[in-house]
Amino acid sequence: MNQPEVLDSDILALQQWLRAAWQQLGDPSLTTFSRRELRNQMKQCSADLRARLQMAAEQRSEPLQQPVPTYSRPELRILSW
């Protein structure tokens, strides 16, 4: 896997985790402490997701570098005697 694919899979995993966390947060059987801990983990996950999205955006906005030509025309000089 190359770097963009790794970033995309990280982003997808973080999004899925947050989606599941939101569903779990709605569970009425959670204690106050568990709910607070889950919210703290969600904040950290959101920060990680923002960082990954920023990195992905920067990679996509970088211009592709032109390949260096393998052949270049030599400079010619005329020598006279």
How do residues 36-63 score in pLDDT, each as one tens digit? 999 999 999 999 999 999 999 988 886 6
Helical spans, DSSP H, in 26-75? 32-61
Domain layout of the chain by residue ranges:
3-61
Residue 20 has, within 13 A of its CA and on its CB side, a CA count of: 8
Q: Residue 11: CB partners within 8 Å, gap ≥ 6?
A: 49, 52, 53, 56
Of the pLDDT bands very low, low, confident and very high (cuts 50, 70, 90), residue 2 is: confident
pTM confidence score:
0.68
CA proximity to 42, closest of 11, 72, 20 = 20
